[in-house]
Amino acid sequence: MTVSRTVELEGHIIDSGTMGHCFGVVMDMGGEFEVEEFEVGRHKHAETYCRMRVLAETESDLRAILHELNQQGATVADPRDATLEAAPEDGVVPVDFYSTTNHPTFVRVDGEWVEVEDVEMDCALVVENAGDERPRVYTKVLNAIEEGDLVVTGETGIRVEPPERPRNGSGSFGFMQGGVSSERPSASLIEEIADEMREVRENDGNVLVVCGPAIVHSGGRDALAELVRAGYIDALSAGNGFAVHDLERDLYGTSLGVDTESLEHPRKGHKHHIYTISEIARLGGIEEAVDEGVVDDGVMYECVRNDVPYVLAGSIRDDGPLPDTITDSIEAQNAIREQAQEADIVLMLATLLHSVAVGNCLPSTTKTVCVDINPATVTQLLDRGSAQAIGMVTDIGTFIPMLAEELLE
């Protein structure tokens, strides 16, 4: 071991697993560590401090190890400024650009630690006003990079703060370690979610709901419309399909051709889907259809009436699509990104595709609730590193009415 550097960690680093994880990182990457100082937090509220020297065979090995420790919240004892390099052309980042995590992140610019704005995974970091009094650092997705943007490269001068294990019970918004079960009692979980939503509302916060078409098929539509009307939903994100199903229900009383009350399949019912699209297209869009009184019920109707903004993103599976649907995926991502960054809590309801798209744009500190009948979907969504997530494997058609009852009673 020929090269070394000293790093420090501080906080509840033992019971959050951070300390052990850092030791593991060094060993797994072929390095060694020498603990120089270790002040264990001797009580529940006392923090632990560790200073250790990290050794490696080569400078590049060492850099790699330091980078990983950094991602765990370790700081190099003697910090330097982040390296910046200008983007060579639009949509192209410098070769060694730093790609972000979804945790709160700080970049050292001119000797100061600047907090990154709009934290989001897999982005580049762009620095504005470097050398100025008030430098800013924010994330940019690769396709949004403009020639000349000052992009953070390498691994120095970057500090990440992964979420800590909460000292006090965090209820069900757990520190997620993948454990989703379909065998957890639903009623009490729903109560907790309702409490959280009420709190967000009282604080003028923002509730984003991500909706899949199963909401309409399985009978959760009316309850969701009620929640929109009652002001519990501040933004809605969905695909073309969800909106068409919701509107079909209003225009024909069916969902994918099935009468959701009588369970009958009216003849030509399977054509209602495509007829709905054609009808709305004729009128020019959802808002126009509401204004003309053609649409007078349902989730989209309530969104229009109550000024709840919605984003409908297109997909190659879509029929139609509706005039309201954003067919370009980059444009749609940008609209979703804006929703995600503003949200305080996100309900992901019975849609994998759209939930992943929204989840990709969320900082790890935003609370998320994932409900799906498929355990694999819930697991995949919770796996994305949110620090405060609830997963429920249940029928969306019973979940939303129970949530509405809890909130509206």
CA distance 72 to 9: 9
CB 207 within 8 A of CB 347: yes
Query: What Å distances lie between residue 239 and 67, 84, 157, CA to CA?
Result: 38, 38, 40
For residue 205, the SS3 value is coil
Query: How many other β-carbons are positioned within 10 Å of the β-carbon of residue 130?
Result: 16
Which of 86-94, 129-137, 202-210, 295-303 is the region at the interface with a second copy (rule: CB under 8 A)?
86-94
Q: Does 189 bind a second copy (CB under 8 A)?
A: yes
Task: Name residues contacting a second copy, limited to 287-306 (CB under 8 A).
Answer: none
Region near a second copy per CB under 8 A, out of 202-210, 228-236, 288-296, 397-405 = 397-405
Does 408 bind a second copy (CB under 8 A)? Our answer is no
Of 145 and 304, which CB lies nearer to a second copy in the complex structure? 145
Q: Does 86 bind a second copy (CB under 8 A)?
A: no
Q: Which of residues 214-233 bind a second copy (CB under 8 A)?
A: 214, 217-219
Q: Which is nearer to a second copy, 75 or 341 (CB)?
A: 341
Residue 395 contacts a second copy per CB under 8 A: yes
The H or E element containing residue 400 is: helix 396-408
- Nearest to residue 279, comparing CAs of 268, 294, 259? 294
d(CA 369, CA 378): 9
Centre a 10 Å sphere on the Cβ of residue 331 and count the other Cβ atoms it contains: 13
Should residue 51 be labelled a site residue for a second copy when binding is judged by CB under 8 A? Answer: no
Residue 70 touches a second copy, criterion: CB under 8 A? no
58 binds a second copy (CB under 8 A): no
Closest to a second copy by CB, 21 or 305: 21
Q: Which of 111, 133, 134, 178 binds a second copy (CB under 8 A)?
A: 178
Q: Which of 32, 31, 29, 35 is nearest to 14 (CA)?
A: 35
**Please, what is the end-to-end C-alpha distance for the chain in angstroms?**
66
- Residue selected from 3, 10, 81, 104 as contacting a second copy according to rule CB under 8 A: 104
Of the candidates 273, 302, 324, 400, which one interacts with a second copy according to CB under 8 A?
273
Q: Does 317 bind a second copy (CB under 8 A)?
A: yes
Burial degree of 17 (CB within 10 A; 0-12, 13-18, 19+): middle
Quick one: which of 203, 106, 151, 140 has its CA closest to 330?
140
Which residues, in sequence order, are CB contacts of 231 under 8 Å at separation 6+?
201, 306
Q: How far is the CB of 111 from a second copy (least distance, A)?
A: 26
Region of 34-42, 198-206, 227-235, 301-309 interacting with a second copy (CB under 8 A): 34-42
Among 57, 86, 132, 282, binds a second copy (CB under 8 A): 282
Site for a second copy in 131-160 (CB under 8 A): 141-144
Q: For the CA atoms of the chain, what is the radius of gyration?
A: 24
In one-letter notation, the amino acid at residue 395 is: D
Give the binding-site size for a second copy (rule: CB under 8 A). 150
Q: Which of 357, 400, 403, 407 binds a second copy (CB under 8 A)?
A: 357
Looking at residues 229 to 268 of the shown chain, list those that interact with a second copy (rule: CB under 8 A): 255-256, 258, 260-263, 267-268
Report which residue type is found at 209. Answer: V
Question: According to the binding rule CB under 8 A, does residue 42 interact with a second copy?
Answer: yes
Residue 355 near residue 391 (C-beta atoms within 8 A): no
Our finding on whether 57 is near a second copy (CB under 8 A) is: no
